[in-house]
Structure 1
């Protein structure tokens, strides 16, 4: 799954970098030559629609999303495992719903042959197909992790379930931050 997250992150970064370069070129062309590429805001919207599910994927796999665990830390290992499995199941269901919604939107766009209300008049089926692909990437990751969490719950492996799907403890967060600090200091030397 780490390679899956890495690939999603690379695609996300490449799309955002290309968008940033295009915005920079647009700004320079406008200021120096009074010329506009036109439609860059349209491309920015498409880029965000594609990149959001990719960012969701990275955050999900890397456990980088915010978790409020004020009550969970007071629970026993079994109760923590159940809540962690429920969290993964709810993310799996949410991702499946988002994929369903994206698919329905694309099918409606295709049947109506909708185009963007911009100077480019882009047939919306093309950017929405990329959106669907990105949403599929997120859904696959969420459902695989949901399945793994449910398997661990079924087998009663509370420790592994909490280790893989639970929020980091304060000690684990501190250790990670100190490790990152050491890497930064080593690279500056």
Structure 2
């Protein structure tokens, strides 16, 4: 799953880097030549719509999503395991819901032949197809994680469930930062 997360992060990073180059070119053209590429804001919206699910996938795999662990870390191990299982399954359920919504939106776009209300008049099926792929990447990641959590729960392995699905503690974050610092030195 770490490779999956890394690939999603790289794709998102490349998209945002390309978007930054286009925005910089747009700004320079406007200032120096009084000319606009027209539609850079449209590209920005598409990049965010496509990139957000990729970031969601990275966040799910890396356990970086926000969870308030003030009470979580003080609970008995069994209660922590139950909450971690609930978290993994509910995130997968949300991802499935969003994926269904995305597919329905793409189907409607295709049915009506919708185009963007912008100077480019982009057929919306193209950016929405990439959005749907990104949502599929997120959904697949969460389903795999939920299945792993369910398997661990089914075996009664609460310790592994807590280890693999609990939110990171301050100590975990500190350890990760120190090892990252050591790797750079």
In terms of mean alpha carbon deviation, does 38-47 or 58-67 score higher? 58-67
> Following TM superposition, by how much is the alpha carbon of 1:63 offset from its aligned partner in structure 2, in angstroms?
1.1
User: Which residue does 1:155 correspond to in 2?
Assistant: 155
User: Which residue does 2:49 correspond to in 1?
Assistant: 49
In terms of mean alpha carbon deviation, does 127-136 or 169-178 score higher? 169-178
Gaps of 5+ in 1: none
> Following TM superposition, by how much is the alpha carbon of 1:65 offset from its aligned partner in structure 2, in angstroms?
1.7
Q: Distance in 1 between matches of 2:64 and 2:7?
A: 16
1:110-158 per-position Cα deviation (integer Å, ceiling 9, x unaligned):
1111100001111101100000000000000000000000110111101
Q: Distance in 1 between matches of 2:19 and 2:176?
A: 32
1:14-56 per-position Cα deviation (integer Å, ceiling 9, x unaligned):
1100000000000001111111111111111000000000001
User: Which residue does 1:24 correspond to in 2?
Assistant: 24
Q: Distance in 2 between matches of 1:77 and 1:134?
A: 35
User: Which residue does 1:178 correspond to in 2?
Assistant: 178
Give secondary structure in 1 for the equivalent of 2:118: coil
Q: Distance in 2 between matches of 1:22 and 1:137?
A: 26
CA RMSD of aligned residues (A): 1.0
Q: TM-score, normalised by structure 2?
A: 0.97
Q: Distance in 2 between matches of 1:60 and 1:156?
A: 23
User: Which residue does 1:8 correspond to in 2?
Assistant: 8
Q: Distance in 1 between matches of 2:173 and 2:114?
A: 48
Counterpart check, 1:34 vs 2:37: no
User: Which residue does 1:101 correspond to in 2?
Assistant: 101
> Following TM superposition, by how much is the alpha carbon of 1:71 offset from its aligned partner in structure 2, in angstroms?
1.2
Q: TM-score, normalised by structure 1?
A: 0.95
1:31-180 equivalent positions in 2, closer than 5 A: 31-180=31-180
Question: Does the 8 A contact of 2:64 with 2:167 survive in 1?
Answer: no
In terms of mean alpha carbon deviation, does 125-134 or 58-67 score higher? 58-67
Gaps of 5+ in 2: none
Give secondary structure in 2 for the equivalent of 1:6: helix
* Regions of 4+ moved over 4 Å: none
